[in-house]
Amino acid sequence: MSADIKFDQILDAKGLACPLPILKTKKAVESLSKDQVLKVETTDPGSKNDMASWAKRTGNEILKVEEGSGTFTFFIKKKG
């Protein structure tokens, strides 16, 4: 499934708690060019809602969220 989505950078935020996954995601997205995609992996169960809120507020787009066993994978497209 995730094979469909191409990404330009990957961020491993596994094992990190609030607010670090968001802070690191913000930093990583800043380093991308517009329309590039960041793949973020987290284990913080709060990150699912947090990431959605962050994206809504910053205008970046979450293309896809995958839930594994205790992990969350987000594909985030930097706003144009």
Just list the catalytic residues: 18
Least distance CB 57 / another protein (angstroms): 4
User: What 3-state class would DSSP assign to 9?
Assistant: strand
| Structural contact between residues 47 and 71, judged by C-beta atoms closer than 8 angstroms | no
Least distance CB 79 / another protein (angstroms): 11
> Please, which residues bridge with residue 65 across strands?
74
Residues of the shown chain interacting with another protein in the complex, contacts defined by CB under 8 A: 15-20, 22-23, 25-26, 44, 53-54, 57-58
Q: Which is nearer to another protein, 5 or 24 (CB)?
A: 24
Q: Which is nearer to another protein, 44 or 75 (CB)?
A: 44
Residue 41 zone, left/alpha/beta (φ > 0; ψ -120 to 50; rest): beta
Q: Which is nearer to another protein, 3 or 34 (CB)?
A: 34
Residue 62, number of CB atoms within 10 A of its CB: 15
